[in-house]
Every structure is written in C-alpha cells, then in structure tokens.
C-alpha cells in the first residue's frame, strides 16, 4: 500500500468511527506476558546482519561526540520519513540552539521496511554513540521512531546500559487499529503490517516486559492522533504499561487542554510535545507533567521552527510522508519473525 493509499484508508477509517458516533477501540490485543515462546529478557542478541558500511552510513551527527558535557541525542524518524525532511526544520535547529550534540539515523526504505532490520540500525547507532562519547545516549523518536528503539532494547540486552532516556512522540508502542483494517484488505509495506495492533511483531516486542530498569521512558502523545489509534484514555496505544523502567505517559492535552496537535504536528512543530521532550532530557527520570511551564500553552510553534517558512516546511514534511517514492515493496503478509526473537 502506497503512502497516499494508506493515509486515504486511515482517513476513511477515522471517518467511519466519527459517523458511527463512537470512538476507535482496539480488538483484544495479543498477550504481552512472556508465554515462553519468545526470548527471555536476558537472552543475548545476535550478530547484526546488516553490513557495517550501511550501518555506519546511516548515522549522521552535528559534530564530534568526543568530550561531551552531556549525553548526545539520537533522533529517530517515523514511518515514511527521512530524518533530514523530518527533523532539519525543527528538532535539529532547536537542539543546535541549546548547544546539544545530536545524531540522526536513516532507516531503510524511509522506515517502511522490516522493522526488525530497522532495529539493527538502532543497535548500531546506540552502541556507536555510546562508545564515541563514553556517555549514555538519549533517544528521541516520532511515531515508529519512538517504538523501534524498544526493539533494540528488548532483543539486544547490552543496549539497555547505554541508554539513559527514551522519549517517544506518539510512538506506535501497541500499533494502530487502522493498520489492522487497511492491511487486512490489501497489500502493505512490511512496517505497516508490523504496526497493526494485532501483529506478531508487536506481540514479540511487548513480550516479557515493555520497559527495563535503568532506562527512563517518556511517552508524549496526543489524543487528537489520527494515525496511532486509539490514543485516548483509558488505554492509549502509545502508552507503556509493564516492566521495571521509570515511565511517564503524558498526553499533550493533560498539559494544555486545548492542544490540538495531530500525529504530524506532535513530531515536528508542537510546542507541548517539545516541552515534554526537553523536560525529560534535562532532569533525572522521565518527564514530569507539572514541571511543564503553563506559558507553553500560549506558544504556537516549538523552538527551532521558523514562523516565516513554517507553512512550506510543514507542507514538504507532510508531502514527503504521503509520497510513495522510496517505500519498501508491498506484500500481502507481515514478515516472519527472525529466529533470535524466539527462546533458544
């Protein structure tokens, strides 16, 4: 399914929900407890299968990682997105203004390929940044970009000691029921199959524990999300629920009740989502809602976004997301789970 076809299907599904007068509800999700089928939480991860030169080429930073006074930030794009298009007009500018060192990781096929493969890029990026900086890594990701780092943490346990904060902006931690509908009636890219709420991929990702001790998890999501659905109380799809990690699940509307950020805005221009990110990265532990300044609610755009070029920048961002060029080939079924996912 092309990007435009997927968004059309998602829009139609949203419209059907609204016309019915109800809210989107997920079908019963696969059990997230470790049933013994999937790898134990301490099972060592496999050697990376992606060639080293491809992994190295995927990581770009705004300078040397040597001698840093604070943890470097890894920015991870969402499905259908390239990190330059996604972050160059917002987050990288904002982090530059703060004097922070950041890196971006480019995922294959604009993050529409097999997320298991994308996970290897995250493993390499985290290991490389930690080794070069001799510090922990703070990871910030939008949509799939907030979920795929958890694949690295789940199946390569060594990465858990290398990550301080994982901040997701409307991450697809439990998928979306809209992908259930759209991918059951037609071919989809691998990543869209895997982000269906009942996928085998998500059952494996969330098996055993969703979080790990030593990592601070912050989920910033919007209840106006039209892509990751349902993302409303009492059980938003983005929220993390199990494990020993320190977790904060914060809706932008819990900070600013009138916030209307959609899925695209929270990952690119929303000042509330950005304020939650900054709070997480500038304090021990995950973000705390009460620390977000109320003045944030009066802001229109996050720092780094140029009001004079915003309209064009945002149009290019959404346009790229809906352009099928660069997508992985569509297929009728979800990719098979890799052997390392299972108990040995």
Domain range annotation of the chain: 3-11+40-324
Query: Can you list the residues of the chain whose pLDDT is less than 70?
Result: 1-35
Q: What is the rounded (10 degree) CA torsion for 283, 288, 293, 298?
A: 120
- pTM given for the model: 0.91
pLDDT at residue 14, rounded to an integer = 38
pLDDT at residue 324, rounded to an integer = 86
pLDDT at residue 35, rounded to an integer = 54
- CATH assignment of 3-11+40-324? 3.40.50.1820
pLDDT at residue 8, rounded to an integer = 40
pLDDT at residue 186, rounded to an integer = 86
pLDDT at residue 24, rounded to an integer = 38
pLDDT at residue 21, rounded to an integer = 31
Q: How many whole angstroms separate alpha carbon 308 and alpha carbon 39? A: 50
Strands 216-221 and 163-169: parallel
Q: Specify whether the CB–CB gap between 143 and 263 falls below 8 A.
A: yes
Report the side by side order of strands in the sheet with 216-221. 59-61, 102-105, 73-76, 137-142, 163-169, 216-221, 246-251
Q: How many whole angstroms separate alpha carbon 37 and alpha carbon 114? A: 21
pLDDT at residue 87, rounded to an integer = 98
Q: Using the 8-state DSSP alphabet, how is residue 167 labeled?
A: E
């Amino acid at each position: 399914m092309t990007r435009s076809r997927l968004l059309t299907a998602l829009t139609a599904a949203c419209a059907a929900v609204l016309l019915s007068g109800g809210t989107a509800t997920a079908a019963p999700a696969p059990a997230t407890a470790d049933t013994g089928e999937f790898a134990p939480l301490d099972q060592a991860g496999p050697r990376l299968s992606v060639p080293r030169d491809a992994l190295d080429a995927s990581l770009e930073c705004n300078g040397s990682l040597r001698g840093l006074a604070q943890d470097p930030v890894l920015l991870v794009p969402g499905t259908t997105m390239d990190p330059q298009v996604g972050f160059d007009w917002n987050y990288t500018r904002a982090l530059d203004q703060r004097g922070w060192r950041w890196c971006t990781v480019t995922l294959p096929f604009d993050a529409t390929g097999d997320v298991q493969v994308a996970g290897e890029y995250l493993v390499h990026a985290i290991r490389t940044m930690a080794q070069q900086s001799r510090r922990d890594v703070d990871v910030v990701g939008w949509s799939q970009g907030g979920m795929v780092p958890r694949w690295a943490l789940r199946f390569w346990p060594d990465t858990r000691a290398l990550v301080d904060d994982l901040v997701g902006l409307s991450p697809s931690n439990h998928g979306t029921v809209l992908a259930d509908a759209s991918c059951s009636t037609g071919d989809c890219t691998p990543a869209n199959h895997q982000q269906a709420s009942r996928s085998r991929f998500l059952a494996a990702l969330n098996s055993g524990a969703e979080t790990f001790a030593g990592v601070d998890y912050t989920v910033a999501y919007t209840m106006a999300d039209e892509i990751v659905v349902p993302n409303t109380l009492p059980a938003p799809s983005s929220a993390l629920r199990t494990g020993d990690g320190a977790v904060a699940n914060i809706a932008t509307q819990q900070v600013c009740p009138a916030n209307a950020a959609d899925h695209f805005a929270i990952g690119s221009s929303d000042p509330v989502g950005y304020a939650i990110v900054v709070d997480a990265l500038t304090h021990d532990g995950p973000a705390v809602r009460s620390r977000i300044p109320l003045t944030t609610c009066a802001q229109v755009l996050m720092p780094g976004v140029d009001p004079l070029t915003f309209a064009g920048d945002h149009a290019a961002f959404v346009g790229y997301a809906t352009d099928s060029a660069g997508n992985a080939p569509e297929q009728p079924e979800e990719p098979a789970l890799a052997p390392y996912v299972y108990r040995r």
